[in-house]
Amino acid sequence: MSVLVPGSGGATAGRSLELYFIDGRPDGMLTAEVFNWTGHVLMAPRTQLAAALSRKEAGYTGVYLLLGEYEGEPRAYVGEGEDISDRIRSHDTRKDWWTTVVLVTSAANNLHKAHAKYLEARLVEQARLVGRVTLDNGNTPPRPGLSEAAQANMEAFLDYLFMVLPALRIDMFLQATRPARQNPVETSGTSPTRFELVNRKHKLRATAVLDGGDFIVQAGSLARASWEGRNTETSGYALLRDELQRMGVLTTRGSACEFTKDYAFKSPSAAAAVVNGRPANGTLEWRLEGGGATYKEWEAQHLEVLTGKAGL
C-alpha cells in the first residue's frame, strides 16, 4: 500500500510512503519505507513480538519505541541498541504497560552505535518538547559526539522519520504549537485568512488563522475555564483540552483560560470546542474577523471561486 504524504518542502514536495501489511491485517505487523530514504520502520503489536524480533532487521543497530498506557495515560519509552532484539528481550519485556513496538533501523544496516545514541537523544528531546505522552525514560540522554556531517545526516534521517510516524498514527513527536509570527504569510505569498469566535455570555474572544492548511488559534485567545459539556471522561475534545492545559498551551487567567502559544487544530470544530468548553460546530461559530461570514459560508464561497477558475 502506497500513501502520499507531504514533504518538508511544501505542497509540491510530496513523498510516497509504502506500507506493507506483513500478515494482511491492518492491526498486525507492518513495515514502512519511503523512496530515497535509507530508513526502515517495523511496527508490531506486543502479541506478535516473537515474530517481530525474529525478523532480520530486529537484529540491526537502531532505535525503538515502546507504546502503551499506564494508569489511563499514554506512555512511551525510547531506546537504542546495536541489536534491538537482544535489548528488548533482555530488558524491556519486564515492562508490562506497553502494547506496541516500533523498530527504526537502516535498510542496509549502516547505522552504528553513535548514530543510534544520537537518534535516541533527539527522539527523547522532541517527545519531551511536544509533551503529548509521558516518557518511561529517566533522564534525557546526552547527544554523542558526531562530526558535523554525521549530525546533518542524522537530522535528515529524523526529518523522514517525523513524517512517517504520524502516518502510522504515532503523534508523540508532532509539534502542534506554532512559533508566533507578527505577519504570518502563507507559502503562496498571500496573507492567511483570519477568523474570530466571540462568546459574549462568557466574555470570550478567540482569533485564528487558516495558514497553509492549519487552523491555528492564536496566542492570547480566551477559552472557558473548564469543560462544561457532557461525557467529560470520554469526549475527545475534553481530553484534548486537558492535554493542552497539561502542556501549558492553556493557562488560567482570572475566570477564563488563555492560549499561551499559537496552536494548530485539526478542524475548526475542535478549536471551537476547546474555546467554548463544550462540543461545538466550528464551521458556524468561527466567523471572518470583524463579524463577517461564518467559516461554512466562507468555505462555500472559496470553493465556488476555485471551481469557477477550474472551469475556465
- What is the per-residue DSSP string for 22-70? TTS-TTS-EEEEETT--EEEEEEEGGGHHHHHTSGGGGSSEEEEEEEEE
Closest CA relative to residue 43, chosen from 91, 94, 105: 105
Q: How crowded is residue 17: how many other Cβ atoms within 10 Å of its Cβ?
A: 21
User: Of 108, 112, 104, 114, which is closest to residue 157 (Cα–Cα)?
Assistant: 104
294: DSSP letter: B
- H/E stretch holding 17: strand 10-21
Residue-level pLDDT at 8: 47
Q: Which residues contact 72 (CB under 8 A, 6 or more apart)?
A: none
Q: What is the pLDDT of residue 187?
A: 42
C-alpha cell at 223: 477559552
The ranges of the chain with pLDDT < 70 are 1-13, 179-190, 230-235, 306-312
The per-residue pLDDT for 308 is 63
CA 290 → CA 185, 193, 201, 269, distances in Å? 20, 12, 18, 20
CA dihedral 40, 2, 176, 268 (to 10 degrees): -170
Phi first, then psi: give them for residue 142, nearest 5 degrees.
-70, 150
pLDDT at residue number 124:
95
pLDDT tens digit string along 166-200?
Answer: 999 999 998 877 766 554 444 445 678 899 999 99
pTM of the model: 0.72
Cell numbers linked to 129: 518538547
Check residue 181 and give its pLDDT. 57
* Cα–Cα distance measured from residue 106 to residue 35, given in angstroms and rounded to the nearest whole number: 13
Distance between CA atoms of 260 and 31, rounded to whole angstroms? 38
Quick one: 281 exposed, middle or buried, by C-beta within 10 A (0-12, 13-18, 19+)? Answer: middle
